[in-house]
Amino acid sequence: MTKIISNGVQQLMQRHNINDVPCLKYNYVDTEAFLRHIRCTLPPVRTPCQFHFKNIPKIPIKPKDCCRIRPYQLQVVNEVVDVRQGIVESTLIVMPCGSGKTFTSCCILCRVKRRSLIITNYKIVANQWKKELMKNFTIDESRIQCIFDDTFKFDVKDPPDFTIITYDTLTLISSSASRQLLTGLLSIDFSIIIIDEAHKAVAPNYFSVIIRLSGCFIALTATPVREDSDIQLLKQLVSKEKIIFSDELIELGYISKILCTTIVVPMATQLMRKNFSHNQLTIANIINPYKIIFLCELLAKLMSENKKIMLFCDNIFALKFVSQKIKHLFSNTFGPISMETSLLNRDKIISDFAQCLNGSIICVSRTGDEGLDIPCANTLIQISTTWGSRRQHAQRVGRIQRPFDDENTYCEAITILSDNTSEMIYAKKRDEYLKQMKYTVRTIKENKKTVDEEIIKAYIKIIKKSEKTKIKKKKIPVKTQKSGSINHMILKKRMKI
């Protein structure tokens, strides 16, 4: 039976050198069939090359008087862009957390002055990119567009000068609006494509789409490492690397010195029950009474020193439990921030934390691993991490590496572990990576303290309760176009982190 291919799909197939697309229904190939096909297949290996922009019309953008670029940032911009010859080199830029990757990239965009696409990880980070452009450069705000997964409006005929989009929004094809957006982006020639937190771009569901975008790639990351080998795929997008080492910036005073401390506390063996599920055992490791007692003592000491503390906990149930407990003890406790927190509330929580003159605490989930801009934080405490992720650990350490004032050049990252649990195995792997990155790492073992048996029983009840508390899935009905004879409703489900 002869396939019927829509005109729009034929143009996309020719543009991307695709010879055949399987049908979703009967013998008709529509946009949905095309996008599902490219998401499941990789094109031939791509060779990155230089991009020539001299003959492309400029966009009106220039630095404001308040725009100040540091010497090492200027060095990066000069390596990437040659204005005289009108050439941009596809480059992987590796810079430490807090060294100004976003600002440096904005300077590259300003020097090139051509249409660009910025792909980042979260909505809050997309807004930070827009704020950075508006703060330091003269550009019409209407020419910058942030596209999220709740609005897919995009004018292909008159695209904005700067389009900022999240990885999830870029690869979403569950509705007709999202498919229209992606086909539009695949049809446009961008001058620059910035992929923020580039270690995420090589994930299979993202990479199969990103590699088909047209433009010169500038990849940004502070941690060019993954627990798989997919990081090598970046070589298909960039032709060279530019690395700025943290020890050089520490000597120059641009970022803070970091002391990484791992503190091991005893584990309450009464919580390690055979009838507990894996999730319950994980929560037991986190809210181990010995760990909570030590945490409260540590916070009291740090608060007396007026420290600005970021408290990380990956498990949402444990995060809520710990933050409530801390709020009873310390009035200057803010949060928690997780993927359940709206953008408006996140901004308010961060603002309240930053404006607090005395010592304060902000509680965050792994949402704060990347892109969360809290330069006033100078102490990090982790009570829960995601397995042995080296990247996550290094990213979190980087959250406090930005000097807050001239006197504060020393910050501490503290990880509290429950002894004789899986936390110990994963911590060793992470600490080895920090040593490779030339951080100072030390381990301290705490002595066992007396814990009332009634407290242990109360904690067991709390852990049992966690199994009954289910994370709600938000179901949003999204209307779709007819695809062949299909006309149905798609339920978009998103798991809250």
pLDDT-above-90 percentage for the chain: 42
**Bridge-based pairing state of the strands 51-52 and 87-88:** antiparallel
Check if the beta carbon of residue 364 is closer than 8 Å to that of residue 320.
Answer: no
pLDDT tens figures, 351-396: 999 999 889 999 999 877 766 778 788 899 999 876 666 777 777 8
Residue 215 has a pLDDT of 93
C-alpha span between 288 and 318 (Å, rounded): 10
pLDDT of 61 strictly over 80: yes
Residue 161 has a pLDDT of 94
Check if the beta carbon of residue 329 is closer than 8 Å to that of residue 278.
Answer: no
Residue 387 has a pLDDT of 65
Residue 492 has a pLDDT of 37
Q: Calculate the average pLDDT of the chain.
A: 84
Check residues 34 and 426 and name the one with the higher pLDDT: 34
Which whole-number Å values give the CA distances from 421 to 191, 269, 295, 311, 448, in the listed order? 50, 10, 18, 21, 16
Check residues 293 and 432 and name the one with the higher pLDDT: 293
Q: State if pTM tops 0.95.
A: no
Structure-block tokens of residue 39: 């998401």
Confidence of residue 482 (pLDDT cuts 50, 70, 90): very low
Residue 489 has a pLDDT of 36
Q: Which amino acid is at 26?
A: Y
As a dihedral over the C-alpha atoms of residue 387, residue 389, residue 390, residue 396, rounded to 10 degrees, the angle is -90
Check if the beta carbon of residue 287 is closer than 8 Å to that of residue 415.
Answer: no
pLDDT-above-70 percentage for the chain: 90
pLDDT of 479 strictly over 50: no
Confidence of residue 477 (pLDDT cuts 50, 70, 90): very low
Q: How far apart are the first and last CA of the chain?
A: 46
Confidence of residue 347 (pLDDT cuts 50, 70, 90): confident
| Number of neighbouring beta carbons within 10 Å of residue 494 | 12
pLDDT tens figures, 272-321: 887 888 889 889 999 999 999 999 999 999 999 999 999 999 899 999 99
**Chain CA centroid to CA 129, Å:** 13
Which whole-number Å values give the CA distances from 318 to 112, 119, 343, 353, in the listed order? 47, 32, 22, 21
Residue 488 has a pLDDT of 36
Determine the average pLDDT of the residues in 459-476: 68
pLDDT of 494 strictly over 70: no
pLDDT tens figures, 107-140: 999 999 999 999 998 888 898 899 999 999 999 9
Which whole-number Å values give the CA distances from 96 to 100, 101, 246, 437, in the listed order? 8, 8, 6, 10
Residue 136 has a pLDDT of 95
Find the angle CA(204)-CA(205)-CA(207) to the nearest 5 degrees.
60
